[in-house]
């Protein structure tokens, strides 16, 4: 099973500037584990204390994973995952 993962500019230093990479995993947790094995350090930019960082948005196809079970969100072959940092501030 291979899933296309779109990487935002700010995380491309981890992926050698690739805009999209391929990873595997049946849940978001598994996918992030695989990403971190391929691109060490990227997991830390997505997770904090074992949870999804508040100001990182991850989408499976068109849906925010927060509505799909967050880290437990199921992923199936052919899904596309997009990571975007929140545009936010004070």
Partner 1 sequence: MSLTISRAFVDAIVAQSRAEYPDECCGAILGPAGSGTPTRLLPMINAAHSPTFYEFDPKDLLALYREVDDNDEEIVVIYHSHTETEAYPSRTDIAYAGEPGAHYVLVSSRKEIAPAIEFRSYRIIDGVVTEEEVSITE
Instruction: Enumerate binding residues for partner 1 (CB under 8 A).
Output: 8-10, 55, 57, 59, 62, 64, 66, 82, 84-90
Q: Closest approach of Cβ 68 to partner 1, in Å? A: 12
Q: Closest approach of Cβ 66 to partner 1, in Å? A: 8
How far apart are the C-alpha atoms of 15 and 35, rounded to whole Å? 9
For CA atoms 7, 9, 14, 20, give the dihedral sign.
positive
Could you tell me which of 17, 13, 3 has the C-alpha nearest to residue 60? 3
Residue number, 37 or 78, with CB nearest to partner 1 = 78
């Amino acid at each position: 099973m291979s899933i296309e993962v779109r990487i935002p500019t700010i995380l491309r230093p981890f992926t050698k500037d690739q805009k999209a990479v391929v990873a595997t995993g049946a849940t978001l947790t598994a996918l992030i584990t695989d990403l971190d094995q391929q691109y060490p350090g990227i997991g830390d930019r997505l997770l904090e204390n074992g949870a999804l960082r508040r100001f990182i948005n991850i989408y499976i196809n068109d849906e925010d994973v927060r509505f799909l079970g967050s880290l437990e969100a199921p992923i199936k072959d052919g899904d596309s995952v997009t990571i975007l940092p929140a545009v936010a501030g004070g």
